[in-house]
């Protein structure tokens, strides 16, 4: 999968006579997601990571740009032809309490897409649902129950089963464990890793939790105010972050170890509004190293090492 110049602006209206403004939710994003890898997008709330995930699947229509999947630009094709691609691309949402229909049985929630895409008999559907539930650690007794009878972790398993039943190739995981307790989160993350190998899946993993990113991913993209500020192999990003934002993010995480005391960089200020993003480099209002050029000129994304891109005038380069 390849993403080029992808943009999504949401219009916001302020009053009747004012011109409508735009929230620059995703602004000129370029990414390449290699096959059968876990590609993580990390950022704070409002950075546009969820919108990116949805735009990639055309759950929201992009304002401009291309999403190329197996050689075809899926932003240009008709909704009718899109159905063929939907089979291959699925999503798991953050909150398993809201993403499952409360008045439908698990077998219908999981099996619905089979009925739509493959027009199969109901006995066949049941056996396929049974198989997939087994793969995610549930069993056939669970098929005739309603979502409220399940705990958060089990519901997320149902949501994963629903995404996997059509044998997709590409899965967007939008904060799949953020609503879960840590002891359950660990189980679900392990399950996702296992399923990736079993079904040869490619993941676009969206999260705000850097420790989870470190645990799960092969590649990482860091988002800030709709833009990718740094992207590269996970090990490169974690061992030598080059964008000041990445560096600050990494040092802000409270370490579950009393011996490693507090963050070294506590940086000032909050995320600016995406309606009027700051001029020049969008991070300059919070950056410790900002200079005059950062306020006026937007930095380009440069490849500093092979496969490690950073969008900064003065990348931190410790070597």
Q: Which residues bind another protein (CB under 8 A)?
A: 44-45, 151, 153-154, 181-190, 208-212, 214-215, 238, 248-259, 261-263, 266-268, 270-271
Residue among 63 and 251 whose Cβ is closer to another protein: 251
Rounded least distance, CB 214 to another protein, Å: 5
C-alpha–C-alpha distance, residues 199 and 298, integer Å: 41
Whole-angstrom CA distances from 139 to 109, 132, 143, 210, 212 are: 15, 9, 8, 33, 28
Residue among 84 and 255 whose Cβ is closer to another protein: 255
Residue among 4 and 214 whose Cβ is closer to another protein: 214
Rounded least distance, CB 72 to another protein, Å: 36
Rounded least distance, CB 117 to another protein, Å: 33
Rounded least distance, CB 248 to another protein, Å: 6
Largest CA distance in the chain: 68
Residue 243: which residues within 8 A CB-CB, separation 6 or more? 222, 229, 230, 283, 310, 311, 312, 315, 316
C-alpha–C-alpha distance, residues 110 and 283, integer Å: 42
Residue among 275 and 293 whose Cβ is closer to another protein: 275
Residue among 66 and 251 whose Cβ is closer to another protein: 251
Rounded least distance, CB 251 to another protein, Å: 8
- What residues form DSSP beta bridges with 90? 171
């Amino acid at each position: 999968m390849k993403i080029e110049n992808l943009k999504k602006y949401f219009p916001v209206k302020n009053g009747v006579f004012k011109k409508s403004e735009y929230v620059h939710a995703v602004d000129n994003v370029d990414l390449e997601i290699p096959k059968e890898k876990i590609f993580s997008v990390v950022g704070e709330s409002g950075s546009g990571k969820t919108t990116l995930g949805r735009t990639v699947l055309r759950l929201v229509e992009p304002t401009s740009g291309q999403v190329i999947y197996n050689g075809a630009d899926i932003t240009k094709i008709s909704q009718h032809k899109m159905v063929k691609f939907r089979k291959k691309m699925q999503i798991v949402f953050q909150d398993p309490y809201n993403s499952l229909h409360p008045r439908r049985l698990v077998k219908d929630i999981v099996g619905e897409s089979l009925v739509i895409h493959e027009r199969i008999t109901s006995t066949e559907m049941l056996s396929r649902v049974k198989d997939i539930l087994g793969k995610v650690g549930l069993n056939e007794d669970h098929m005739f129950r309603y979502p409220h009878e399940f705990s958060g972790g089990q519901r997320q398993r149902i949501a994963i089963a629903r995404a996997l039943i059509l044998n997709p190739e590409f899965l967007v995981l939008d904060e799949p464990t953020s609503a879960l307790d840590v002891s359950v989160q660990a189980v679900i993350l392990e399950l996702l890793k296992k399923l990736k190998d079993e079904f040869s899946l490619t993941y676009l993993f969206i999260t705000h939790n850097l420790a989870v990113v470190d645990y799960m991913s092969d590649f990482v993209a860091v988002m800030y105010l709709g833009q990718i500020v740094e992207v590269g192999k996970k090990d490169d990003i974690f061992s030598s972050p080059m964008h000041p934002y990445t560096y600050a993010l990494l040092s802000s995480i409270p370490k579950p170890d009393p011996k490693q005391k507090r963050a070294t960089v506590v940086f000032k200020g909050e995320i600016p509004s995406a309606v009027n993003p700051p001029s020049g480099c969008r991070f300059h209002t919070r950056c410790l190293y900002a200079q005059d050029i950062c306020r006026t000129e937007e930095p380009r994304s440069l490849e500093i090492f092979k496969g490690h891109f950073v969008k900064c005038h003065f990348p931190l380069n410790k070597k």
